Homo-oligomer: A and B are copies of this chain.
Amino acid sequence: HYGETELEDMVGIVTGLAWTEVGGEILTIESVMVPGKGNVKSTGKLGDVMQESVSAAFSYLKSRCLSYGIAPTLFEKHDFHVHVPEGATPKDGPSAGIAMVTTLVSVMTGIPIRRDIAMTGEITLRGRVLPIGGLKEKLLAALRAGIKTVCFPKENEKDLKELPSTIKKSLNLVPVSHVDEVIGYALVRKPQPIEWEETPVGDTVSGQKQSPSESSLPH
């Protein structure tokens, strides 16, 4: 039945974890990159918060693309579509943020995502991972779905105390504080950073040296 993880590692498909009043649930998130003009579309009956989450994931990735081996020009010549089946089920919340980043990195680098990993965590524009709710229910859902490894926010580590020991033994639980760590665990191989020489802007600037660069922002 739907809800089982994929049979092979795939590009652009990642497993998120949702938390509803009836318990935790597996959430498949997928994306494609097609020729276009830099537009991003998100579907799957997503609420405003989850749509903003896609937007934040995309801006984060754009501002840090070189460290993931992604050429800036790749963004402007493609459109991106993030979809969360099942299309008739309303979904919302910010906790799919790191999954959004992961699917986008995968689809833009062509590196598959490990099929036995799941993840939950809000993303900031600097890639920091913020805490989420319902960790226990989400981990139970992951277990039922045959997931082996779960990335979760380091700030949620305190919630592990109340977990049954059976979960702790069966799942490889990976606390993360930055999405860089998630990418390291989730993709079948690590993306290699690239360098990029921007065409210099031919305008006249006197005084202060113009130093900001998208790829040199600390995080």
Contacts and interface: CB of A to CB of B under 8 A. Distances in A.
Contact of A45 (B31, B41, B48, B195): B48
Contacts of A49: 45, 87-88
Contacts of A110: 211-213, 216-217
A30 B207 CA distance: 27
Given A30-B125, A208-B192, A56 B83 contact: yes
B87 A218 contact: no
A87 B56 contact: yes
Contacts of A71: 201, 203, 205, 210
A181 interface: no
A182 to B, nearest CB: 17
B126 A13 contact: yes
A197 interface: yes
A45 B34 contact: no
Contact of A126 (B10, B56, B86, B122): B10
Contacts of A69: 207-208, 210
26 contacts: A1-B155, A8-B218, A10-B218, A11-B212, A12-B126, A13-B126, A28-B124, A30-B126, A32-B59, A32-B63, A32-B126, A33-B63, A41-B55, A43-B52, A44-B52, A56-B83, A59-B81, A69-B207, A71-B201, A71-B205, A74-B210, A85-B130, A86-B130, A87-B122, A110-B213, A191-B208
Given A45-B48, A110-B217, A197-B204, 19 more contacts: A1-B131, A11-B217, A11-B218, A13-B126, A32-B63, A32-B214, A34-B62, A43-B55, A49-B88, A59-B83, A69-B207, A69-B208, A73-B203, A83-B124, A87-B122, A88-B122, A107-B212, A109-B211, A194-B208
